[in-house]
Structures are given as C-alpha cells and as structure tokens.
A and B are shown apart, each in its own frame.
Chain A
Amino acid sequence: MNMPDDGNGQAGVGPPAEQLIAVEFARVLGSGREALVVTVTGEIDLHTVARFRAAVADGLEQVAADETDGLALVIDLRDVSFLGSPGLQALVEVTRAARRRREPLRIVVNHTRPVVRPIELTGLDGLLALYNTVDQALHTGA
C-alpha cells in the first residue's frame, strides 16, 4: 500500500547502509527446481531496510521476468544478525507482492535467535514461508 521511497536519495547520518548490510544474488539449481537466491548479511533495521527492500523487490522482478518454469525466489536470512520491525514489514510486503504475482517465494532462516524470535513473537511464522535451508526451500512443491 504505502510503498516508502527506495532510499536512494537517503542522506542521513552515520555509516552508509552498504557498510551494515550486504546482499548477493545467485542462481541455484536444487533437485530439479531452480531458484534465485538473495543472500543477506548484516543487520536489517531502520537504517538498512530500504536497501533490503530494494534487493528483494529486484529479486522478485527478476524472477517474474524469467522464462524458467517455476523459478522460485529464495531470501536467505541465515547471516542476518538483527531483524527489527522495519525488516519484518519488508518481509510481509514482499510475501504479499509475490502472492499477487503468483511467484513462489521462500524465506530461509536457521535457528539464529535474532531472526527467528522476532518472526515468531509477532506471529509472522504463520504468514511467511519459512525453511531451514536453501535445499529444503527448493524441495517443496509449488
């Protein structure tokens, strides 16, 4: 609904978001199913969420534009050390956007407490498609 700006023009104070969060894209083939894996490293909070949001939106665009049958988008959060409510909100938004566009989206979290706890305590484990590994995320049917 209220898509915030993408943060490109964000001046702000302190180290740029790029120093606090890193994003990598990779094409992965796992047991017959292909995925675009977006791996996020660092902290997802008020300062870095615009970059995170832009990365997952970009991933969704790539998956939607791709001709590969059943290509999934996987967001790998296992190297995320902090996940605040701005990041939770971004996850909810990309999940809804993927559903609207009928693109499969999976989110990988291991048992790292700083990521799993906020998701569970806000009840979002019922909404987000969560898996423990990228492999598991790719084993599941559409």
Chain B
Amino acid sequence: MDPTGNPNPPPGGEANGQTPPTREPESRSRTPPDRLRLRLPGETIAPSVARKQLRGWLAALRWPPAQADDILTAASEAVSNAVEHAYAGHPPGPVNLHATVETRPAGQRRITLVVRDEGRWRPAPVEDEYRRRGIPMMRAFMDTVTIEALTDAEGHPQGTRVVMTSPLAPPVE
C-alpha cells in the first residue's frame, strides 16, 4: 500500500460520478472495474501518477505484463505532451485520462486510452525533439493513435484529444 498514489485527488471526483482515480486495493475475487478515469493536474508529476494508476488497473485485469508496460509508456507520453501544452504560457490545466477495456466475442481484449487536455493546440516546434520522439513512441507501442485538435463551434481551440487503442491481449484464462 503506497500512499503516494494520487497526491492530488480531484475535489469530489468527476462530476458525473464515474470511478474515482484512487481506488481501494481490491480483493482478487471481485471483478475489476472496466474503466479507469483520472483527472490529473497539468504538472510534471502527472505522467508518473498516470502510470501508477494504470499499472494497478491493468494488473487487476491480469493484462500480460509486457503489453501492460507498453500501454503505460504510451499513456505516459500522451500525458507528458498534454502537460507540456498546458505549461506553455498558461496556468496549467487539468489532463484527463480515460481508459476502457473491451472484450471481443472470442475473448480477446483491448484497451482504449483517451487523454485530453484543455490547453491550446500547438504543433511541436522544430527544435522540440523529444515531443517529436514521444508521438512515434505512442505509435510504436499502440495499435492505433489519433490526435485531434478540438475546437468549439466558432473554431476556438478547446484542447487536444489523443485516442489510442492497444494491441489485442489474449483472453483471461
């Protein structure tokens, strides 16, 4: 039991009452939640909090460890990018991470990760090498990666959404 799991629990959790980010350790007999919702501060600690929470959730789902590592890394890169956006000249905004598991008829499973910030879309500057490296990492570790610049009806920037799906994992024995 590590108390550093979520240093910044969102006040009152998500407005719509979804699974809060900090979960009690679950007994093995219970079905793990089919989704994980995190609202992270737009701070440099966010990627590590996201990895820790995802690691616990994927372990509860009995995800193959090597595949779980890849999902954690992809999530971490997406959250890092979002934090970097939020930092650029504005007060840091929240970064939302939403993970769901989907089971195919044959029992194979797949994770979908959605990472959303409320910052401004800005293309990676040419000298920003590591951001240019982060996105290829996400693509290498996940099956599909989509990055969308969100706008409101008048075309004002509303943040960025990254949607990634994992490779299929074998059915739970």
By a beta-carbon cutoff of 8 Å, the part of chain A in contact with chain B is 1-2, 10, 12-15, 19-20, 43, 45-47, 82, 84-86, 88-89, 92, 113-114, 117-118, 121-122
Question: For chain B, what secondary structure do more than half of its interface residues adopt (helix, strand, loop), or is it mixed?
Answer: helix
**Cβ distance B11 to chain A, nearest Cβ, rounded Å:** 14
Give the distance to chain B from A88, nearest Cβ to Cβ, in Å: 6
Whether A46 contacts B80 by the Cβ 8 Å rule is yes
- Complex contacts, A84 vs chain B, CB 8 Å: 47, 73, 76-77, 80, 134, 137
Count of A-B residue pairs with CB < 8 Å: 86
CA distance A137 to B141 in the complex (A): 29
Assembled-state Cα–Cα distance A103/B8 (Å):
43
Asked whether, in the complex, the Cβ of B76 is within 8 Å of the Cβ of A15, the reply is no
Contact A46 B66 (CB under 8 A): no
Rounded to whole angstroms, the CA-CA distance of A1 and B125 in the bound complex is 13
B44 interface hit (Cβ, 8 Å): yes
CA–CA, A113 and B127, complex, Å:
28
Apart from A1-B127, A19-B4, A84-B77, 10 more pairs, CB < 8 Å = A2-B128, A13-B43, A45-B76, A46-B84, A82-B72, A84-B47, A85-B80, A85-B130, A88-B130, A118-B137
From known contacts A13-B43, A85-B137, infer whether A45 and B130 are also in contact, taking CB-CB under 8 Å. no
Q: CA–CA, A122 to B140, complex, Å?
A: 9
Cβ of B33 within 8 Å of any chain A Cβ, yes or no, is no
> Which B residues are CB-close (under 8 A) to A2?
127-128
Which residues B28-78 have CB closer than 8 A to chain A? Answer: 41, 43-49, 51, 66, 69-70, 72-73, 76-77
Taking the complex as formed, is B164 at the interface, i.e. its CB lies under 8 A from any CB of chain A?
no
Q: How far is the CA of A85 from the CA of B127 in the complex (A)?
A: 14
Asked whether A46 lies within 8 Å of B83 as measured between CB atoms, the reply is: yes
Nearest CB of A to B65, in Å: 9
List residues 125-173 of chain B with CB under 8 A from any CB of chain A.
Answer: 127-131, 133-134, 136-137, 140-141
